[in-house]
Amino acid sequence: MLEDGRITDRQFMLLIIVSRLILSLTYLPALNSPPENQDVWIAGLLSFPVHLLLAVPAYLLAQRFKDRSIIQSAELILGKTGKIIGALYVWFFLHMTALTLRQLSCYLTSVPYPETPAPVFIIVTALFAALAVGYGVETICRTGEIMTPVVMFSIFVVIILIAKDMDLKALAPMLEKGIAPVLHGALTIAARTVEILFVTMLLPYLNQPGTAKKAMAWGIFFFIFFFTIITVSIITTFDVEQAINRTFPFFSTVRLISIGEFLERIDAVHLGIWILGLFIKISIYYYLTALGAAQLFNLQDYRPIVLPLGTIIVSLSVLQAENMVELREFTSYKVWTWYALFFITFLPLILLVVAVLRRREVQAR
Amino acid sequence: MKRQLIAIFIISVLFATSGCWNRRELNTLAIIMAIGIDKAPEDGKIKLTTQVLKPDEIKAPAATGGQGSPKGVWVLTSTGHTIFDAYRNATMQSDRKLYNSQTKVIVISEEMARAGVRPILDFFDRDHELRRLSWLLIAKGEAKDIIEAEHEQEKIPAQAIESLVTASGATSMAVTVNLHEFLKMLANKATDPFASRIEIIAEEETEKKAAKKPKPEESQQNGPRKRMRLTGAAVFKDDKLAGWLNRPETRGLNWILGKVKSGIIIVKSPKDENQYVALEIIRASSKIIPEIRDGQVTITVEVEEEGNLGEQMSDVDLTTPEYFDSLERRQATVIKNEIAAVLRKAQKEWGTDIFGFGDAIHRKFPREWKKLEKKWDTEFSQIEVKVKVISTLKRFGLHTAPAGTKRE
């Protein structure tokens, strides 16, 4: 086995939560997706069934090949063509790592460190992440187990502190543009949950594979819960018109906190928590890249390729977008939804259908 | 492998612990407390007046002895084509880089406000140093004068302005609007924004009123000292200043918005029309209820107020049911008049929806609003506004009647 570590269903759930939730603490593209008004939180709630629906092919595929990741099972199902699909997934995880690193550096260079060159943050974080990847999945998941409650708690604290500035009137009128844009919004929110693919990669390392379904559903549920209170807090403090103009909506909300002129400027604490959470997200995608590449090329160990992959990740991270406008454009719902859906649902669905049709063949091997 | 990882770790730690890239020490910063924005004499340029903190003066007040308090701030003026430009141009005079995170007050001159504030405010919301919690005030006259004005109580005039704004709840005759609230109102398509109004009153003038002659040497040395005073609110049409509200009108606005915290209502004594009675506002709230019948929009403003008898100057015991009822009615009339005054100005004179009526309609009748939205500008002046005031008097203090009042 490439990986000896085992993770619990609790760790798996917390990993899904932190990985999906953490970017919402700064970037919140859902506010600029349809319905683009005060109904975003409804779209968030409605995205729960959409999430589950999108996760079905990936989950069934993982269940069918319990000991294999999607990269290995693709090869098993499609042979040589499967290799290409496996390569696509390695690319996707690589891209996710690079993208997240870029988002980290974009935020850091926009707000707290405007004069520091972005590659500094990318390289330093990538080096730390490489270290985490070297220690394996168990270490990353345990870090996540410690950090995720901190992230969740800090969101709660922020919501309590900002509560006096919230004006729930801003949520009215509900469903102003009708239900269709809200459902579209639910789809775009669900399509950002790349964490669905964790099940296809990490199921072999769960110490109780049977609990994966429950852990996933709960992870998505908790994410949606926090997503909803975050969007509600932003919309009710800023109103819709201002909320959709924010570059970093939740961060702007945190900056508004001022209790009795002594409890204010807590954005630095928020920033620290965000970086810790984001570090876990970067590490796990980095890990999946390395693991996936090792499985693709049938290596004995994934560790020797961690640093070489890191050089690709860092360069891709810097090169993928000229500036923040391009980055925003790429992560906007118009582009990202379809790019992500291709990997989250479309490819697993194809693999699943072929696997079912070629059932005997698979068993014969 | 493990040794390699450790090596990577050590190198990474070097990066992470070497401190900040663009570190800024306290003694290299000029901490801005307040800024004023005026039109520069040059064409299309902006004049920025910044009040910069002098930490040394704040730290050691005793050192100067009885010479009178030294100024805790330094006022700096610069010009530029944009706000940011003007900020950076200020560095030509200041040896330190201007630091914006502590800015408490933003003052915009009347002239700039009349030309529109949207272009000015972009920088304050875009730049990461500023927070949206700075107070926004519109100066009647030049903003520079406000920034230069001194205050007897506070060494940092910006802090004095901040306290003026936050303490204005005692009369409710000023508005407390920070950048965040102003931008929210500006972004809302239905609502027009308002901000505090501040002006300079020369001390000479106040002293004249008190029938005292200023000492000749003093006024020659310093000139008339300037004092700032909150005098109501500035009302905008979209982003352009439309006009001013005086203090009672401002309280009228606060009644409608439910923002009255405290204050004194002056009524004539029911017994003796030449004497006054002061009623203290204890709490107040309001509701804006929009209604649409056959395409006709009506707004009902319901104000509930609770007050105490705070002071009376007439020679009678007012704590009888009849007099108390009469006081309650008089109180309601005053509130109604204040509300009517601001409604008249906003609806008939300027057509600015500073009350959020349009917003209330939008929230309650989203379908009808779609039709109404485009013509709201003209429609707003036409709509009927019903004002309901439910005001009560509860208590009368520690004695019933002034000493020596005859019993009836």
Q: Where does the pLDDT of residue B3 fall: very low under 50, low under 70, confident under 90, or very high at 90 and above?
A: confident
Amino acid identity, position A239: D
DSSP H or E segment with residue A10: helix A9-21
Which of B3, B12, B121, B125 has the highest number of chain A CBs within 10 A, making it the mutation to test binding with A? B12
Q: What residues of A are in contact with residue B133 (Cβ under 8 Å)? A: 256, 258, 264
d(Cα B107, Cα B255) in Å, to the nearest integer? 25
**Complex confidence, ipTM:** 0.89
Contact A124 B131 (CB under 8 A): no
Task: Provide the shortest C-alpha distance from residue A360 to chain B (in Å).
Answer: 43
DSSP label at residue B291: E
Residue B64 is predicted with a pLDDT of 47
Q: Is A222 strand, coil or helix?
A: helix
d(Cα B346, Cα B340) in Å, to the nearest integer? 10
The answer to whether residue A181 is domain-embedded is yes
CB A236, CB A163: distance < 8 Å: no
Residue B46: closest CA among B97, B96, B117, B130: B117
Residue B20 is predicted with a pLDDT of 58
Residue A67 is predicted with a pLDDT of 86
CATH number at residue A125: 1.20.1740.10
pLDDT for B390 beyond 90: yes
Name every residue in B having a CB less than 8 A away from some CB of A. Answer: 1, 5, 8-9, 11-12, 15-16, 20-22, 128, 131-133, 180, 183-184, 187-189, 362-364, 366
Could you tell me the pTM of the whole model? 0.89
On the CB side of A178, CA atoms within 13 Å amount to: 3
Burial status of residue A341 (CB atoms within 10 A of its CB: 0-12, 13-18, 19 or more): middle
CB B132, CB B184: distance < 8 Å: no
d(Cα A72, Cα A203) in Å, to the nearest integer? 13
Residue of A nearest to B104 (CA): A261
Which of A109, A175, A236, A238 has the highest number of chain B CBs within 10 A, making it the mutation to test binding with B? A238
d(Cα B176, Cα B307) in Å, to the nearest integer? 22
What lies within 8 Å, CB to CB, of B95 at 6+ separation is none
Q: What is the mean pLDDT of residues A117-124?
A: 90
Average pLDDT, chain A: 91
- Does residue B386 come out as left (phi exceeding 0), alpha (psi in the -120 to 50 range) or beta? beta
A94 or A359, which is more confident: A94
Residue B315 is predicted with a pLDDT of 86
The answer to whether residue A296 is domain-embedded is yes
pLDDT digits (tens, 9 = 90+) for A268-311: 888 889 999 999 999 999 999 999 999 999 999 999 999 999 99
**Residue keyed to tokens 């931008």:** B183
DSSP label at residue A322: S
d(Cα A346, Cα A338) in Å, to the nearest integer? 10
Residue of B nearest to A254 (CA): B131
In order, the DSSP letters of B209-230 are HTT-PPPHHHHHHH-SPEEEEE
Residue B354 is predicted with a pLDDT of 94
Residue B37 is predicted with a pLDDT of 95
Residue of A nearest to B131 (CA): A255
Q: Are strands B29-39 and B97-99 parallel, antiparallel or unpaired?
A: parallel
Burial status of residue B124 (CB atoms within 10 A of its CB: 0-12, 13-18, 19 or more): buried
Average pLDDT, chain B: 86
Q: Where does the pLDDT of residue B267 fall: very low under 50, low under 70, confident under 90, or very high at 90 and above?
A: very high
Token pair, residue B207, equals: 């002293």
Token pair, residue A8, equals: 């619990």
pLDDT for B205 beyond 90: no
The answer to whether residue A225 is domain-embedded is yes
Q: Rounding to the nearest 10 degrees, give the CA dihedral for residues A166, A261, B70, B213.
A: 60
Q: What is the mean pLDDT of residues B370-374?
A: 89
CB B187, CB A243: distance < 8 Å: no
Provide the terminal-to-terminal Cα distance of chain A, rounded to the nearest Å. 20
The answer to whether residue A142 is domain-embedded is yes
Q: Rounding to the nearest 10 degrees, give the CA dihedral for residues B354, B356, B357, B360.
A: 180
Contact B22 A120 (CB under 8 A): no
DSSP H or E segment with residue B231: strand B226-237
Residue B122 is predicted with a pLDDT of 94
Cα Rg of chain A (Å, integer): 20
d(Cα B104, Cα B158) in Å, to the nearest integer? 7
pLDDT digits (tens, 9 = 90+) for A232-261: 999 999 999 999 989 999 999 999 998 877
d(Cα A219, Cα A48) in Å, to the nearest integer? 11
Q: What is the mean pLDDT of residues B78-96?
A: 90
Full domain range(s) for residue A72: 9-364
* Number of cross-chain residue pairs from A and B with Cβ atoms under 8 Å apart: 64
Span B258-408: which CATH code?
3.30.300.210
pLDDT for B11 beyond 80: no
- Does residue A135 come out as left (phi exceeding 0), alpha (psi in the -120 to 50 range) or beta? alpha
Cα-Cα-Cα-Cα dihedral sign, residues B198, B199, B202, B205: negative
Residue B223 is predicted with a pLDDT of 55
Task: Provide the shortest C-alpha distance from residue B140 to chain A (in Å).
Answer: 28
Provide the terminal-to-terminal Cα distance of chain B, rounded to the nearest Å. 102
Cα-Cα-Cα-Cα dihedral sign, residues A327, A329, A333, A338: negative
The answer to whether residue A2 is domain-embedded is no
Q: What residues of B are in contact with residue A307 (Cβ under 8 Å)? A: 8
Burial B149-187 (b: 16+ CB within 10 A, else e): bbbeebbbbbbbbbebbeebbebbbbbbbbbbbbbbbbb
Token pair, residue A304, equals: 């020797």
pLDDT digits (tens, 9 = 90+) for B210-226: 554 444 444 444 555 67
pLDDT digits (tens, 9 = 90+) for A164-220: 999 998 998 888 888 999 999 999 999 999 999 999 999 999 998 888 999 999 999
B329 or B210, which is more confident: B329
Backbone φ and ψ of B19, nearest 5°: 90, -175
Contact A242 B187 (CB under 8 A): yes
B207 or B404, which is more confident: B404
- Put simply, whether A124 touches B (Cβ < 8 Å) is yes
The answer to whether residue A27 is domain-embedded is yes
What lies within 8 Å, CB to CB, of B313 at 6+ separation is B269, B275, B276, B277
d(Cα A89, Cα B86) in Å, to the nearest integer? 51
Query: Domain residues of chain B, as ranges?
Result: 24-245, 258-408
DSSP H or E segment with residue B139: strand B135-139
d(Cα A67, Cα A65) in Å, to the nearest integer? 6
A277 or B295, which is more confident: A277
What lies within 8 Å, CB to CB, of B272 at 6+ separation is B314, B315, B316
Residue B72 is predicted with a pLDDT of 83
pLDDT for A146 beyond 50: yes
Contact B184 A238 (CB under 8 A): yes
